[in-house]
Every structure is written in C-alpha cells, then in structure tokens.
Chains A and B, each alone.
Chain A
Amino acid sequence: MEKKKFDWKAITSSREMSLVIVLIILCVFVQIRNQSFLTAGTMEEMFRNYAVTFILALGMMCVLLTGGIDISIGSTLAFSGMAAALIMRDHMIATPLSFLISIVIGAGLGLIVGLVIAKGKVPPIVCTLGFMNIYRGLTYLIANSQWVAAYQFTDSFKNFALTKYLGLGLVNNMIAVTIYIYIVFYIVMKWTTVGRRVYAVGSNAEAATVSGININNVKIGVYTLMGLLCGLGGALWTSLYKSAQGDMATGIEMDVIAACVVGGVSLTGGRGSVVGVMLGSLTIAIIGKALPLIGVSQFWQNGIKGLIILVAVILNVLAQRTMDRNNLKRREM
C-alpha cells in the first residue's frame, strides 16, 4: 500500500507529467475557443507540417545529451534537400533514391561538423555557427540562387507527403516516418549500449573515458546522426512543400532547441528523454497550430511563443527546486 502511494507521487511530480498537464489545459482552452482544433483533419495537418521538427528534435536531443549544440541544422537540411532536388530535376530519379541521396549528403555534412568539433577541438556553438553560414551559402551556390519548383519533381515524390503507404493506410507517410523513428530512438536510447554511451559522455566525460568509451567517436557519431536526420528532413521538407528554396528551414534550429528544452533536455548534457522530446515538440507544434485557430494575429505569434518557452523553462526549474527540497526533507526524517 505504502509503495503504491509513493509510485503515484513519483509519476505526478515527474517532468513529463507536468508537461502533459500543461498540454491538456492548453488543448482544452483552444478547443473551447475553436471546435475545429481537436479533429482528425487538423491534427493530421499539424503532425504533417511539424514532422520535420519532431524528427530533428531527436537528433538535437542526442547532441545536447553529449553537452554540445548544433545550430547548423537548418542549413544542413536546406543543403541536402536542395542537392537531392537538383539531382531529381536533372535526372528524374526514383523517390527512394532521392531520399537516400538526401540522407547520405546530410550524414556527410554532419560528419564534417562532428570531425571539426571532436578532432579540431572547436567549441560546438562556434563550429556550428560557422557551418550554419557555410552550408547556407553553399545551398544558394549549388542552386544558382534558383528554386526547384513543383513541376520539376516526379509525381511519386510529390505524392509522398500526401499518401499513406508507409503508414499501412492508417496515417500519412510523413507521420509514419516520424513514428518509426521515435520507436527506434526510444529503444536505442533506453536499452542499448550505444544509447547509454551518449548519456555517459554527457553526464561525466571523464568517467566515460575511464570506463573505456571513446568520447570523440561518440561525439562524431551524434553529429553525423544529426546530419543524417537533417538529410531526411530535407527530403521530407521538399516533398511536403513541393519546392526546394535556398532559404528553406531558416531558423528551424531555434524551434528544435526550444522543443528539446521545453521537453526537459538539459543544455549542460546528460539529461533528457525521448518521451520528453516528443512532448516538447508537441508543445511547439500545438502553439504553432493553435494560435491562428483561436484568432491570434500572426504578428503576435512569436511574442507568445517566446513567452511560453520562458514560462515553461522557469516552471521546470521551480518544479525541480520543489522536488529537490522534498527529497531533502525526506532524507532529514
């Protein structure tokens, strides 16, 4: 009896649960103002449009777990998406091949970032700041500052974001891909040595070295993974919007980092979970989708978004403090 009571308390006081409560309140509030919010159609549209944010947030979580940060993801996404789109324009390749090309290019770009950070010992924020500029510039250069427009894509590529064959006929392809990746990440991060190593490097790098983990390899790995997901994101993005532009996904890094932090990933490394990241991304998606629905002018959206991020992280700290204080009290007794 006593044990069960304790468990209940642990669940209600966890970070994830507090976020879920906030989300439910948010949803109910929006639903009262606009009945069309919690309908299948709106929800599907929301998840489809924010699929890329959801996916990138996972990669960003891994990077943040090692104590790094990656602000070049928008540019990596643009470059790989643009490169794949250009190849498709000129050679009319099959859809899976174009996805593969985008992913490989993204992974390559991520590998370069990882190498510079791990081997060149450049601080992550500085390195990715540089690559943010470099990759963005290169995106414009390879495309000659032009767009790849809808008519230049093959039909099957354009239909990818509209059909459901990957989702077994139940959900849209974009959403299906997101779900699969979340399942894989959940398993890998929780139950495999690879996942535990990422946590180990972030929580105590020295201890990790002593226990035989090659920190550099882990770092290179997470940035490559980040790049790989960006590559996938690039392909999804071009397929969704049916065009590839030089300035696509500008500023998405801030959304993604915000999603991670709201979801309880610590910027100093070692703390964060896949479930938290999912909830964090959901928060960002709901804010983005719900504000126009309840008639908030688009010019107010950024202000409200910023405010919500600040309130979320501050509430998080306050919750953590109460938790620590309670723990201390329990120990005193």
Chain B
Amino acid sequence: MKSPEHLLELARSILEMDRRRPRQVSLRRAVSTAYYAVFHLLGLEYTLMFSDDPAVRAGIFRAVNHADVQKAARDFSNPKLPLPGVLVSKGVVVTPELLNVAKSFIDLKDARTSADYDLSTTYTRAQVAAFVELAEQVFEDWAVAKKAPAARLFLACFHLKNAWSPDR
C-alpha cells in the first residue's frame, strides 16, 4: 500500500507547480497533501498490527481517526503527561525519532486545517516547502522509530488512549 509515499510525492509535485508565482490554492493543497501523507503513513502502520491483507487493512484504516492520532501524538510529545510517564516507568523509551514524528504530526495537522479552512492566511512557497520537508522528515524518522517498542505502543494508543485511565 503505497498511498503515503504517493501522497508525499504529490505534495512535492504540487509545490513545484508555478514555481515563479505559485497560486495560493496550490500551496494550500501542498500543505494538506503533505499532512495526509503522514496520516496515511501512520494509519497504515497501525493496520499492520492486525493484518497484512490489503483489503483487511483498508477496512481497519477507515477506523483511524485524525483526532485520536493527534491525542496520542500530543501525549508522546510530552513525557510529563501520564500515559508516556507510565510507559517510561516500565522502561519504554520514547526515541528522539518517535518524538519528532509525534511533534511533527501535530504541526502538520494544524497547518493542514488552516490551509484547508482559513482563507485569511496566505502562504509563501518557502513556507510551504518547509512543511513538505517536515513531512519528508517524518517518513525518515518513522523508518527509524518503528524499530523500537515505543512505536508500537504509540500506534496502539490511537485507540487505547481513549479507554486508558491512570486509575486502572
């Protein structure tokens, strides 16, 4: 399932359109597509925990929710929050790469929402290039991060987080 990579390539291609005087609508699309590349990357990694059958994974992917991923990302960006605190106490290490993935997801999601809905904001090509670059960095960081146990816990938190409580 190559949609994350293809979306990332698409974000880069959109950015390359009208290099001299890019249209705002193109720049907005590039930001949004860069975010979706990252969302698909993490969402599809999540589905791999259950199945490697593409049809099953596609079905599970439908259940991955942007807000749930954001909540997990926020927790893993801040070691002071209770859930990562509990994991850390059990010896789970949130690697620097996973930390970058989590932080960047939140930044890209915010950027995407503004790009799609806030028409009072204008973008410059360099500004959008930095967002696409950030998404590309997420792909690189994730390739490293996913080898550590904390990455699976991060993915699991897309759904476990809502059920988890410090008192349980």
Partners in one complex: no
Interface, chain A (partner B; CB < 8 A): none
Interface, chain B (partner A; CB < 8 A): none
